[in-house]
Structure 1
Amino acid sequence: MRPKIELGSRFPSMSPIKMMGRLGRMLSMHSEGLVTTVPGLTAQASTIRKTKHNLTMDNMNPNLIKLQYAVRGPIVARSLALKKELLKGVEKPFKTVINANLGDAQAMGQEPITFFRQVLSCVIYPELIKSGNCPDDVKQRARQLLAGCGGKAGSYTQSFGVEMFRRHVAEYIAQRDGYPSNWENVVLTQGASPGIKYCLQLFCKQVDGKDAGVLIPIPQYPLYSAALAEYGLGPVGYYLDEDKNWGIDVSELERAFHEGSKTHAVRALVVINPGNPTGQVLTEENMKRILKFAQRQGLFVLADEVYQHNVYAEDSKFSSFKKVLMDLGPPCSEMELASFMSVSKGYMGECGLRGGWMELVNMDPDVQANLYKTISASICPNTIGQCAIDMVARPPQPGEPSYDLWLQEKTDVLGSFKLRAKMIVEAFNKMGGFKCNEVQGAMYAFPRIELPPKAVEAARAENKPADLFYAFRLLEETGICIVPGSGFGQSPGTYHFRTTILPQPKLLQEMLNIFDVFHKKFTEQYS
């Protein structure tokens, strides 16, 4: 039945042509969601938009509604809006937005590694191999990569990555750990995140009438809580020990496991080393205790090791969970493990290329076959990301034309990270109301902040977590964008935030100075 439209009652003084024109514009705006009602339409017509969709919030996948991803949440959306306002000339108390929220090194001024970009340029445009002014080893590497890709960088590859690249990754892992690595257990992925999600999907099945649960660190990288929500898996949080530089206490793992087992079948353990957002580097002794716990409880271990190149503390070093697993011998060395690496972090910082790998250790062959079947449904990871991963696994060697420059650029990047890690910790620990643990590795600091009771009350009045309230005030008044600790999880009654160490030294010092002034003002306002 068509809605009844009474033109004369709403537009008594207009000609029919003008009336139809105006009504047409209103209907168009209504269909685009710009207005909720149209003058002159009955109630039935004004509800057309509400009832015409078969898929609504009431019948869509509820897991997606629960999903939250803090590092790209509302505060980040607001920072993007502020950037646009500044470009339009809107007056603000700051001249630029400082994005200390994302671990994107190149977005914060880091220059790409020359060798990587020269090789990739030749891969994408092979004419440069003939005519370009690149070193001979660059041209030779580009030829090899193209040969692995079947001669064209724009073609599909094997679903699990180019075999030659997978073999090189396996050789890299074997050299790193001192234990063999089977290339057929290496899968190239579109960044580390898809590999992590592929593995988590394997646990989407009830056991003894309980949904599966996964132990994740608190604080944690929000990919994990988001993926678990998406797949209907239960997040079982274990708290990192802030007083022991965010170490992992096995007694806390035991507590979390037994508490989580009341409601879920706890089947896997996530460890992030070096830590995100907390910046710790686990010792081998700590890792051995963690693995022995996982072996006792029959847990599959997912080791997020994407920051393995990012270690700064003098008394810290990176050890892979696979190495420590093998060092322990049976029965631990027979445990299931998946480890993950990415070209986005380290000294490379190639976030946009989306290259990563995962290595599967001791996985049931039938399970692995089904995992590979699932991966093959995504066709293949992008070719350029795979080429970048191959160069991480097989960088220039001594004596090759590109080696000296590559080594210098890598050393400079990691040396600058080390300097900035120290800068940020020292600065926050000098500010009143902050406590910041040493950034031993990765790209972030996770300072603890004391907020005045009146600030907590003001946040509650706005129905916001207190640290989110603080972060929004910081953004609106200074242009500094951080991620509140509530987006990562934190011990009850504490407040934190994550900030990257990625702003270049001059900008980082400026950011820290602005932060100090803001915090004093904020504290005085709510004292």
Structure 2
Amino acid sequence: MSQITSKLCSRGSGGSLVFWSMRPELGGRGWKLAVTTGQTDVRPMKSRVCKDRGKGKTSPEVGRSLTEKNINQNIVLMQYAVRGPLVIRTGVIETELQQGAQKPFKRVIRANIGDAHAMGQTPITYIRQVIAMVAHPELIESSNLPKDAKDQARQILCGMSGHSAGAYTMSCGVELIRKNVAAYIEKRDGHKCDFNNVCLTTGATTGIKMVLELLCSSIDGKCPAVMVPIPQYPLYSATLVEYGLGQVGYFLDEDNNWGLDMQELERAHAEASKTQAVRAIVVINPGNPTGQVLTRKNIEDVIKFAYKHKMMLLADEVYQHNIYAEGCQFFSFKKVITEMGAPYCKEQELVSFMSISKGYMGECGLRGGWMEIINLDPAVQAHLYKALSAILCPTSLGQAAVDCVAKPPAEGSPSYEQWLAEKTCVLDSLAQRSKIIYETFKNMKGFKCNVVQGAMYAFPRIELSPKAIEAAKKANRPPDVFYAYKLLEETGICVVPGTGFGQKPNTHHFRTTILPQTELLAEMMDIFQKFHKKFTDEFA
């Protein structure tokens, strides 16, 4: 399994941005990528060996205590593909357009990242009303905002020190909000939830990183490692490299709607266990970048697998509201593990993650989320909370937004009808756009695309001709990266190559969001079809 780990690490001559990437599938060699305002240059480089990480080297530069060679090499090696070099180039192109440069297109379409509001999604009114009053309490008395929104803002402020959003909160979040999250989980799953096991986080990201950091300890002389799906969300690969943890990739079954194949899980675990201590498994459901929704049977099998091999389960469930395909249903790992009974409900360690950045809310910038912790050793949980206390607390306005998600307007309340209409409109529109994406790619020659069952992305597979692959080789780029750059330079559409997420050898994919609003999405897909025909003809 190939793994790519790169990071923006230096500035080259002429103001270029220089990226390094380790490419094990290229025989231990990698590439150096320099992005300038006019061109992108890719050159081979020698790989850095793992044992050199963290070891300082003497710098020829006088007066600089930190250089690229003597900082933590894990930071140098890490990569976050959805904000990588292709996206840097996208920003350069946008600047060039603003300065009057002539391009074959008039605007850039950023289909690379799951940022709903940036792509035109309208915020949910109720959430913004409550946040406004939490931030500026005078509005509670002076405005004509709905009574239920005012009541919720008052309650949130009562849980904050000094009744102010400007004060620190408890490290795990405002107790009232944690209790409302616990009530949300109980309603969702039909089972009890102890609010003491709920911790509010800065988006899901902080919680995920803090839990992974717990695993940074060798076992019986073996380096720790974590199983992640391939394709995977680059947060995981980046964090594993940053923390010096091993990545054990298990391939999702593309021919079975990106399902989890138990034989593949066993294969990946057995192979990695020869040299590493595999301590946890990550599951993303609904899937990112693959858009699948796991069946209950799949979830049960994964829980049994984790229990068998004494691994912690990390369930990334941030897209739990985003279910589109007929017959698909979201089951939380908490619900399934509880209903499986002993020994799983009593012994299997599970941490599940939720965020306000996705779903119908799309409040990425407010940075709110939570994690629920199940069956963790009390002493370990106490150490986790201690580590969280060192970063003080999540943003208070993000916590307020979490409260609105966990405790939305009640039926019959002044805000309920508008809230329900806005929520339904967002999710129905996303479902419609998921079908547009799927139908378009499915019917394009040389494409294969699974149904987008949930989440916010499609991960289509493209067949590239030998001539296109040879052209990519001459450009010192992986074929899917070559394709994505051609797409960007000729159409202004920015997607993320499958290389950044991981994929089976000799397959080529890219991730695109379904977030462009319907009219823009239809335009994007029309441009995409014309580009692909031109590309296919050029490299026939």
Q: TM-score, length-normalised on structure 1?
A: 0.91
Instruction: Name the counterpart of 2:465.
Output: 452
Aligned-pair distance for 1:314?
Answer: 1.0
**Pairing partner for 2:121 from 110, 117, 125:** 110
Which runs of structure 2 are paired with 1:78-227 in the superposition (5 Å)? Answer: 78-150=89-161, 151-227=163-239
SS at match of 1:92: coil
Counterpart amino acid of residue 63 in structure 2: K
Instruction: Name the counterpart of 2:524.
Output: 511
Instruction: Name the counterpart of 1:294.
Output: 306
CA-based RMSD of the aligned residues comes to 1.3
Instruction: Name the counterpart of 2:77.
Output: 66
- Output the CA distance in 2 between the equivalents of 1:103 and 1:218: 19
**Pairing partner for 2:494 from 478, 481, 501:** 481
Counterpart amino acid of residue 286 in structure 1: N
SS at match of 1:399: coil
Q: Which runs of 5+ in 1 are unaligned?
A: 1-31, 36-47
Counterpart amino acid of residue 287 in structure 2: G
- Output the CA distance in 1 between the equivalents of 2:464 and 2:397: 46
SS at match of 2:64: coil
Aligned-pair distance for 1:33?
Answer: 8.1
- Output the CA distance in 1 between the equivalents of 2:77 and 2:289: 22
1:28-81 alpha-carbon deviations (Å, 9 max, x no partner): xxxx9879xxxxxxxxxxxx9823222222221111111011000000111111
SS at match of 1:50: coil
- Output the CA distance in 2 between the equivalents of 1:494 and 1:263: 27
Instruction: Name the counterpart of 2:356.
Output: 343
Instruction: Name the counterpart of 2:31.
Output: none
**1:251 has 2:263 as partner:** yes
Counterpart amino acid of residue 283 in structure 2: V
- Output the CA distance in 1 between the equivalents of 2:532 and 2:87: 20
Counterpart amino acid of residue 237 in structure 1: G
**1:229 has 2:241 as partner:** yes
Instruction: Name the counterpart of 2:338.
Output: 326
Instruction: Name the counterpart of 2:290.
Output: 278
Instruction: Name the counterpart of 2:423.
Output: 410
Aligned-pair distance for 1:437?
Answer: 0.0
Counterpart amino acid of residue 442 in structure 2: N
* Greater Cα offset, 297-306 or 51-60: 51-60
Counterpart amino acid of residue 354 in structure 1: R
Counterpart amino acid of residue 411 in structure 1: T
Instruction: Name the counterpart of 1:502.
Output: 515
Aligned-pair distance for 1:153?
Answer: 0.8
Counterpart amino acid of residue 153 in structure 1: A
Which runs of structure 2 are paired with 1:386-425 in the superposition (5 Å)? Answer: 386-425=399-438
SS at match of 1:463: coil
- Output the CA distance in 1 between the equivalents of 2:340 and 2:138: 51
1:127-151 alpha-carbon deviations (Å, 9 max, x no partner): 1111112111111111111111131
Instruction: Name the counterpart of 2:26.
Output: none
Aligned-pair distance for 1:93?
Answer: 0.7
SS at match of 1:520: helix
SS at match of 2:130: helix
SS at match of 1:235: strand
SS at match of 2:61: helix
1:372-396 alpha-carbon deviations (Å, 9 max, x no partner): 1100000111000000001100000
Q: TM-score, length-normalised on structure 2?
A: 0.88
1:181-217 alpha-carbon deviations (Å, 9 max, x no partner): 1111111000000100000001101111111010000
Aligned-pair distance for 1:257?
Answer: 0.2
SS at match of 1:51: coil
Counterpart amino acid of residue 227 in structure 1: T
**Pairing partner for 1:373 from 375, 386, 389:** 386
SS at match of 2:483: helix
Higher strand proportion: 2
- Output the CA distance in 1 between the equivalents of 2:113 and 2:397: 23
* Greater Cα offset, 380-389 or 144-153: 144-153
- Output the CA distance in 1 between the equivalents of 2:271 and 2:117: 42
- Output the CA distance in 1 between the equivalents of 2:299 and 2:138: 49
- Output the CA distance in 2 between the equivalents of 1:510 and 1:430: 16
**Pairing partner for 1:50 from 61, 77, 80:** 61
1:102-156 alpha-carbon deviations (Å, 9 max, x no partner): 0001000000000001111111111111111211111111111111113101111
**Pairing partner for 1:361 from 362, 374, 399:** 374
1:284-339 alpha-carbon deviations (Å, 9 max, x no partner): 01111111111111110000000000000110010000111111111111200000
- Output the CA distance in 1 between the equivalents of 2:61 and 2:446: 49
- Output the CA distance in 2 between the equivalents of 1:284 and 1:459: 41
**Pairing partner for 2:252 from 229, 240, 243:** 240
- Output the CA distance in 1 between the equivalents of 2:380 and 2:295: 31
1:455-499 alpha-carbon deviations (Å, 9 max, x no partner): 111111121111001001100100000000000000110000000
- Output the CA distance in 2 between the equivalents of 1:484 and 1:332: 38
Counterpart amino acid of residue 294 in structure 2: L
Counterpart amino acid of residue 305 in structure 1: E
* Greater Cα offset, 290-299 or 141-150: 141-150
- Output the CA distance in 1 between the equivalents of 2:195 and 2:404: 16
- Output the CA distance in 1 between the equivalents of 2:108 and 2:14: 30
Counterpart amino acid of residue 182 in structure 1: D
Counterpart amino acid of residue 308 in structure 1: Q
Instruction: Name the counterpart of 1:27.
Output: none
Aligned-pair distance for 1:427?
Answer: 0.3
- Output the CA distance in 2 between the equivalents of 1:372 and 1:485: 36
Aligned-pair distance for 1:369?
Answer: 0.7
- Output the CA distance in 1 between the equivalents of 2:267 and 2:143: 61
Counterpart amino acid of residue 62 in structure 2: T
Counterpart amino acid of residue 389 in structure 2: S
- Output the CA distance in 2 between the equivalents of 1:137 and 1:178: 26
Q: What fraction of aligned residue pairs are identical, expressed as a percent?
A: 61
Counterpart amino acid of residue 327 in structure 2: D
- Output the CA distance in 2 between the equivalents of 1:486 and 1:380: 35
- Output the CA distance in 1 between the equivalents of 2:150 and 2:340: 43
